[in-house]
Structure 1
Amino acid sequence: MSTVASELKAVDKLTITFVVDNCIEWMTKLPPGFIQEVPQHLLHPDVPMDPLTGVPFVDLENYCCGAHGFSALIETQVQGSEPRLTLFDTGPDSRSIIRNIEALKLPVERIERIILSHWHSDHSGGMLSFLRHRRAHASPSAPPCVADLHPDRPIARGIAPQGGKVIGRLLDDPTFAEIEALGGVVETHAEGHVVAGGAVWVSGEIPRVTHFEGGLPSGVRWVEREGGGEWVKEEDLMDERYAAIDVVGKGLVIFSACSHAGIVNVVKDAVEKFSRPVYMIIGGLHLAGTELVDRIPPTVDYLANQMRPAPTYVLPMHCTGFAAKVALEHALGEGCVPAAVGHKVIVEGTPESERMIHPPTVG
């Protein structure tokens, strides 16, 4: 365990609310501790009631919407301390995150930090609207919100399938100046560090050690040159970071928003740093599309068969893709959870179990 990683505190309770995701899932049975969106609305004290029948409305006009991106609200509680709220990514646009925050009635004034996983606009696109919304709804005495960012912000990133012509570029990520103008406090970190009072680990550069996880084949980046600029191939997005929380008696809960570095590389790094089992893997596993289909079998095999102990739950979201979800469900059964926007997950710490005594192996 590294010196900085040893500063991570185990939490007694972790609550996760999925604020933005590609999917909405209302019908599937979920494991204990997972709560669908609809009952959260129907059981809320402010639920709108039908005066005719006396039954709560299923008020679809004010429920969550799906969007191509990711955002999760992470609430951590260490025994004897107040809960801390951290927002991991902000979705792709200015509208979905605000609609969903309002639908879920999230306490924006208590969110003290945004962790941006990497500079792609489907993860950074809602940041400015969130900061604007928070400033409008927080009391004047509320502390400012920190934007935890990798310092290497690109000028532009684009998509060039099969390494050919660039067919499009992503929208601009927010600038440091735009964040500060809305009251955000910019912190740049290329190295791993703990936040939320020591309860959340934000990784540094993710080591690329597997032979089958080759980054983003279609990735390109605009680079300025003397007299102009050009697109250059960028398969490895080295600014990508994951977040991890250690829950007492259960192990690591890992947030990997896109897994451009490869989810196996992410898991290997986390286990090597903390020598803890992995309880839950959450986020986009970036296995969608024809370019990445060959990575599905070795990824699923690793998560299901090579990790010891295997993760209790894998929540494949955002850019994982249908084929990979099917393969994970086949391999993991109920351990593959169809999590989606609006869901809440509560992970309660338990006394240290036999699962904790022996160090995990990652192959």
Structure 2
Amino acid sequence: MADLVELDSLEILVIVDNELDPISPSPNAAVQQSGGLKDIGMGGPQLDPQTRGGAISELRMDNICCSAHGLSLLITGLKSNNSGEPERHTVLFDTGPEEHIFELNATRLKARLGEIETIQLSHWHRDHSGGMPRVLAMANAMKPAGSPAITVDLNPDRPDYRGMVTPMGPVSMEADPTFAEIEAAGGKVEKHSEVHTVAGKFFAVSGEIPRTTSYDVGLKRGLRMMREAGVWEEDTLIRDERFLMCKLKDKGIVMFTGCSHAGVVNASRHAVTLGNGVPLYAVMGGFHLADGEPQTITSTVADLQALEPKLLLTGHCTGWRAKFAIQQAMPGKLVPSFVGSRFTL
């Protein structure tokens, strides 16, 4: 990935994630974080100082985001061009589980959806794809007339349904939006299964993630079904999952992962490989250790530590046990990804 642009800085807005905490400060001084209660209050309705003893604004509960099982990150890379002017490119990484929660949070956050050039779907699971139609409608409504269509970057290997094994029989998830539905909503579908760059080469999208660890076994009890076959098949590996990455000047690789079904260590190692050996600076997203075996968590944390990342912005399916283990092994490197947070790297 020699053509991947080196960025000056990165802005990340967490629109959807599993947890909400607008009170705790960032545990790492290297991360600029906003979106807490003070920021929400300062951005609330302005008050006449004479009406409430000098209060300048009102902290409203309906300005606070809601958590949901899923992920959606609005990511903007910044780079000074040859004229010294800042160039910006924005990617939306995943769209959350449903249209309502995306719209509610994006509206409360005053997210600049009109800047989205590319939506990259990490993998075909409803908690990452469900908000897609509403995202496109909202983003297109914010764009100037005549703007290019938003590219929706997708893996062509889309099962009609995904599900899970239970003692009583298969349980089906809701279907992901179809290619036709995404196009009807205003997206320009592009199908990729190999590594490539997007958004002015500010970001790269992986192909299938190589599995080199012995302890990452994929999604337990995972299933998929195609309507034509009409039968459920084992689908523990979720081979369609891909990550998003970029390169920060004087820092290193930042890798965004939806669920890490191939293993967050495998994804991190592959990001370093694609970055031609540039060191790993940060990993953000779901590490899928919430239901991991204790030894899997221990091995994952040890192998992550060996990569020497400076930041681990854990969210979605990471789980409290894994977060605790990371904090114990690498004090100060854990930065929980809470919905409504704004990070600058």
Place the TM-score, normalised by the shorter chain, in its bin.
over 0.9
1:174 equivalenced with 2:170 (yes/no): no
| Alignment correspondent of 2:192 | 189
TM-score, normalization by structure 1 = 0.88
Q: CA deviation at 1:288?
A: 1.1
Q: How many residues were matched structurally?
A: 333
User: Are the aligned partners of 2:122 and 2:243 in contact in 1 as well (CA < 8 Å)?
Assistant: yes
> 16, 21, 26: which is aligned to 2:22?
26
Identical aligned residues as a percent = 38
Offset at 1:217?
1.6
Q: Which amino acid aligns with 1:179?
A: I
Determine if contact 1:28/1:338 at 8 Å carries over to the other structure.
no
Corresponding residue to 2:278 among 262, 276, 279: 276
| SS of residue paired to 2:6 | coil
How many angstroms does 1:79 deviate by? 1.8
Indicate if the aligned counterparts of 2:6 and 2:248 stay in contact, CA closer than 8 A: yes
Conserved? CA contact 2:65–2:105, under 8 Å: yes
Q: Which residue of 80, 89, 94 maps to 2:94? A: 89
Partner of 1:232: 233
* Cα offset, 1:207, TM superposition: 0.5
Cα deviation, residue 112, structure 1: 1.0
The correspondence of residues 125-204 of structure 1 with structure 2, limited to 5 A, is 125-161=130-166, 164-204=167-207
**Is 1:206 matched up with 2:214?**
no
Q: 1:49 aligns with which of 46, 64, 70?
A: 46
What is residue 244 of structure 1 aligned with on the other side? 245
Shift, 1:50, TM fit? 3.6
Matched, 1:8 2:1: no
Deviation per CA, 1:302-352: give whole Å up to 9, x if none: 112x22xx11111111001111111111111111112211111111xxxxx
Q: Secondary structure at the match of 2:322?
A: helix
Q: Secondary structure at the match of 2:158?
A: coil
Residue 165 of structure 1 and its aligned partner are, at CA, apart by 4.7
Tell me if structure 1 keeps the 8 A contact 2:253–2:280.
Answer: yes
**1:120 aligns to what?**
125
Unaligned segments of structure 1, at least 5 residues: 348-363
What are the ranges of 5 or more consecutive residues in structure 2 without an aligned counterpart? none
Structure 2 Cα separation of the partners of residues 333 and 57 of structure 1: 36
SS of residue in 1 equivalent to 2:2: helix
Q: Determine the C-alpha separation between the residues in 1 that align with 2:257 and 2:272.
A: 14
Question: In the alignment, what sits opposite 1:354?
Answer: none
For residues 209-234 of structure 1, give each alpha carbon's deviation from its aligned partner in whole angstroms, at most 9, with x where no partner exists. 11111111210111355xx5211111
Q: Secondary structure at the residue paired with 1:296?
A: helix
Deviations 1:153-173 (A, max 9, x none): 111000115xx5544211111
- The match for 2:106 is 101
Query: Counterpart of 2:125 in structure 1: which amino acid?
Result: H
Between the aligned partners of 1:165 and 1:151, the Cα distance in structure 2 is 31
Letter in 2 for 1:272: T
CA contact (8 A) 2:283 2:313 kept: yes
Greater alpha carbon shift after TM alignment, 129-138 vs 140-149: 129-138
SS at match of 1:303: helix
The structural deviation recorded for 1:55 is 2.7
Contact 1:287 1:324 in 2 (8 A): yes
The one-letter code sitting in structure 1 at the alignment partner of 2:73 is: A
The Cα shift of 1:18 comes to: 0.7
How large is the Cα RMSD of the aligned pairs? Answer: 1.6
Deviation at 1:260, TM superposition (A): 0.3
Aligned position for 1:38: 37
In the other structure, the counterpart of 1:355 is none
Structure 1 range deviating more: 292-301 or 212-221: 292-301
Measure the CA separation in 2 of the matches of 1:276 and 1:136: 39
Taking structure 2 as the reference length, what is the TM-score of the superposition? 0.92
| Counterpart contact for 2:23–2:36, Cα < 8 Å | no
2:328 to 321, 327, 330: 330
Distance 2:148 2:111 in 1: 17
Distance, in Å, in 1 between the alignment partners of 2:47 and 2:169 is 53
2:80 paired with 1:79: yes
Any conservation in 2 of the 1:109–1:142 contact (CA below 8 Å)?
no
Tell me the distance in 2 between the aligned counterparts of 1:40 and 1:195. 32
Q: Distance in 1 between matches of 2:312 and 2:108?
A: 26
Counterpart of 2:239, as a letter, is M
SS in 1 for 2:332: helix
Change (3 A) 1:293 1:230: farther
